[in-house]
Chains A and B, each alone.
Chain A
Amino acid sequence: AQSVSQHNHHVILSEAASLELGCNYSYGGTVNLFWYVQYPGQHLQLLLKYFSGDPLVKGIKGFEAEFIKSKFSFNLRKPSVQWSDTAEYFCAFTGTASKLTFGTGTRLQVTL
């Protein structure tokens, strides 16, 4: 069965700190990878996605993620977080089953 692991459940950072959220997927075939974000009181929305090509993907608001196939990973990064990045972040992927499978999410809290 396909699955996603997000190892950090709750991360607290000060503004301007660097961010890296881990994501590992379990699937043997070709994958499409996503990061979704849910800001407080808002809908779940797409942050960035990887289908093919350059494994370093850039998304909105200065976020980026790197697909490392050998490690089955798709970690999310941002060099300098802002208070407005406080949100819950979900890693997700589709395999050949074409079903979007989500991780359990990482709650990011950025303090001033």
Chain B
Amino acid sequence: EAGVAQSPRYKIIEKRQSVAFWCNPISGHATLYWYQQILGQGPKLLIQFQNNGVVDDSQLPKDRFSAERLKGVDSTLKIQPAKLEDSAVYLCASSQRGPTDTQYFGPGTRLTVL
């Protein structure tokens, strides 16, 4: 079974620029998650989708971050404009049903904002 795919793997941008990350979850998984992992911390949930709909985006900084899940499959996460404190690894994960199911993580995108 193919795992969760993410691209790009690395991205370096200057502050105030925009950036987008892409995620392709495991086939058939209804729930998709985006996490932000700052160096030295554990992953923090940014947004959770169940099929097409948003289940939880309470920790998403909506003034600069946006996310969508296209046709209940792929997802993109965008930051516009980026700030220095957005430097982190952005992880995508998916699970068959909800968050109590095993979540399968992708390799992550390491974002550096200069």
Interface residues in chain A, defined as those with a beta carbon under 8 Å from any beta carbon in chain B? 4, 32, 43-46, 49, 51, 90, 92, 94, 97-105
Contacts and interface: CB of A to CB of B under 8 A. Distances in A.
B90 interface: no
Interface string B75-114: 0000000000000000101000011101111111000000
19 contacts: A43-B3, A43-B104, A43-B106, A43-B107, A45-B105, A46-B103, A49-B102, A90-B42, A97-B56, A98-B56, A98-B98, A98-B99, A99-B48, A99-B56, A99-B99, A100-B45, A100-B99, A103-B42, A105-B42
Contact of B105 (A43, A51, A94, A98): A43
Interface in B34-88: 40-45, 48, 55-56
Contacts of A97: 56
Interface residues of B, number: 24
Interface of B is mostly: loop
Interface of B: 3-4, 33, 40-45, 48, 55-56, 91, 93, 98-100, 102-108
B46 to A, nearest CB: 11
B110 to A, nearest CB: 13
Nearest to B33: A100
Q: Which of A43, A92, A103 has the most CB of B within 10 A?
A: A43
Contacts of B98: 98
Contacts of A101: 45
